Chain A
């Protein structure tokens, strides 16, 4: 028997070179084609450098050679998880420039489809966030339920994800028979699953240990980085454009603005950001219920708008509260039927820019959770 070798290791003298590794662009946990160049010291993240542009499709350049109506389907492809919401600020900007008043029924229909899409988006966000933390079952629950919402939107617009449903001054199609019943049954399903997921995932001890106190974003940093949506509200800032700068008819509904309260962990960590999304789904359900009650069932869904839209020389920046945050369109008209310039301010693009700031000093495995808790979609980041 050979003598057991003794390892004389002086731990303080171990080589501790920092290592740079690539995460992505082809990796499921980056939620798309995002490449993160990460510098690690052992298992501690010391620097994160995001590299974007793998999904850059020259959206803004293309817009300059298309008419105003032709742009709407392109906008769907920006944030393809919540396309209904993205179309809204764009048509609102054009309606403001052209001074079009949309019918009452359209306003209600827009609120309902946008809130349905918000629920669908948050379902994906919470589901994939659970998946990042290792919980598979809520993912299946939510994808099962999301399909019912998508069916409603498909019956309305004809498409599952890329709707092309909003028009300047109205909607592409009217509601169908049984729309109200469908919405109400979906709300019931959403609430039932949310209650289940609360037990199964949100208050699960393992999940809390993974996500609480991780990736803390303080309110002043969040505002300085112009974060918006659940990322900002998770840090305890009660700022929601539906309430602070009410557009459309959001001033008619009674709903709360959920913020991170630090019930578990501290305000601004991954758990609180995720929890805001859970509460927002419930608030969206409330808005849909009220809208269905108040909505006039009779009437046309199109205002009187010329077939060829010519926007006068003017510039408007219109923003709306999307599931992921503030999405804004800066439209510059030049008197023709094509825009002089169209700039899209994506919520994911701005929210992602805070990643290098909040992921320093955490474990490498936590970086994936922080990224998941921000809820990005690369179509909107790269445009």
Chain B
């Protein structure tokens, strides 16, 4: 299934929640969606007979300046097609629905995104840090991140 077909299918089902399609070489074709609809759209993507996106390759968060971005790279092992799903959330209140119940692999990916970028996932069973120490402060991949001077009385060297 081509990206345009997936986009049309999602738009007919979710209407305004699907914001747009970016298909510009050399970038991978991506569909932009509203953050609150992530779980429902991903559910359709996974269970629809013609799409069957059963494999979540990667889940990343990024700092876009004003907003924070979520990027889901999906692939269907059965049908052999790929799609990128994108969403943007406000920096002030970065909460998105978790897709951990759809793809169990999202468990650690979402913890990593929370740890490094600071996006909270609603519905995740164990939203704690994974790479940084559990009591670390701040989210390192934010562009305005300041390395703390001290950590438990130890000097943090960079």
Do A and B pair up? The answer is yes
For the complex, is B45 an interface residue (Cβ under 8 Å from A)?
no
Does A239 lie at the interface of the complex (its beta carbon under 8 Å from any beta carbon of B)? yes
CB distance from B132 to the nearest CB of A (A): 6
Q: Using A244-B80, A316-B26, A353-B108 as known contacts, list a sample of 14 further A-B pairs with CB atoms less than 8 Å apart, ordered by residue number in A.
A: A53-B133, A61-B141, A97-B26, A221-B104, A223-B55, A226-B103, A237-B77, A315-B27, A316-B27, A328-B57, A341-B63, A341-B141, A343-B62, A345-B58
Q: Is A56 an interface residue (CB 8 A)?
A: yes
**A224 an interface residue at 8 Å Cβ cutoff?**
yes
Chain B, residues 37-67, CB within 8 Å of chain A (1/0): the string is: 0000000000000000011111010110000
Residues from chain A with a CB closer than 8 A to the CB of B105 are 224-226, 350, 353
In the complex, A221 Cα to B28 Cα: how many Å?
28
> In the complex, which residues 211-237 of chain A have their Cβ closer than 8 Å to any Cβ of chain B?
221, 223-226, 237
* Residue B140 interfacial (CB < 8 Å): yes
Known: A56-B131, A60-B141, A224-B104. A317 touches B26 (CB 8 A): no
A52-B141 Cα distance, complex, nearest whole Å: 18
Contact with B along A341-354 (1 / 0, CB 8 A): 10101000110010
Residues of B within 8 A of A (CB): 24, 26-28, 30, 54-58, 60, 62-63, 71, 73, 77, 80, 84, 103-105, 107-108, 116, 129-133, 140-141
The answer, among B27, B84, B108, B140, for a CB contact under 8 Å with A350, is B108
Number of residue pairs across A and B with beta carbons under 8 Å? Answer: 84
Bound state CA distance, A350 and B141, in angstroms? 20
A340 within 8 A of B: yes
Residues of A within 8 A of B116 (CB): 60-61
B57 touches A239 (CB 8 A): no
B57 touches A226 (CB 8 A): yes
Question: In whole angstroms, what is the CA distance A97 to B26 when docked?
Answer: 6
Contact of B132 among A56, A60, A330 (CB under 8 A): A56
Query: Judging by beta carbons under 8 Å apart, are B131 and A343 in contact?
Result: no
Q: Are B57 and A319 in contact (CB under 8 A)?
A: yes
Asked whether A330 lies within 8 Å of B60 as measured between CB atoms, the reply is yes
B63 proximity list for chain A (CB < 8 A): 341
Question: Is there contact, CB below 8 Å, between B140 and A58?
Answer: yes
Given contacts A52-B130, A58-B140, contact A96 B60 (CB under 8 A): no
Count of interface residues, chain A, beta-carbon cutoff 8 Å? 37
Residues on B with beta carbons closer than 8 Å to the beta carbon of A96 = 26
A-B contact pairs, 13 of them (CB 8 A): A53-B131, A96-B26, A223-B55, A224-B54, A226-B57, A239-B77, A315-B27, A315-B30, A328-B73, A330-B60, A341-B141, A343-B62, A357-B104
Q: Which residues of B contact A221 (CB under 8 A)?
A: 104
CB-CB contacts below 8 Å: A296-327 with B: 314-317, 319, 326
A382 at the binding interface (Cβ < 8 Å): yes
Residue of A whose beta carbon sits closest to that of B108? A353
Instruction: Point out the residue from A237, A349, A383 that lies within 8 Å of B108, measured CB to CB.
Output: A349
Chain B residues within an 8 Å CB radius of A60: 116, 141
Q: Is the Cβ of B103 less than 8 Å from the Cβ of A52? A: no
Complex formed: what's the CA distance from A326 to B62 in Å? Answer: 22
CA–CA, A99 to B108, complex, Å? 33
In the complex, chain A residues whose CB is within 8 Å of the CB of B131: 52-53, 56, 382-383
Tell me if A48 counts as interface (CB < 8 A to partner B): no
Q: Does A43 contact B (CB under 8 A)?
A: no
Whole-angstrom CA separation of A45 from B66 in the bound complex: 47
Give the CA-CA distance A52 to B103 in the complex, in Å. Answer: 21
A343 near B58 with CB under 8 A, answer: yes
- A317–B80 contact, CB under 8 A? no
CB distance from B111 to the nearest CB of A (A): 9
Contacts of A245 in B (CB 8 A): 80
User: Given A315-B27, A332-B62, A350-B108 in contact, is the A223-B57 Cβ separation under 8 Å?
Assistant: no
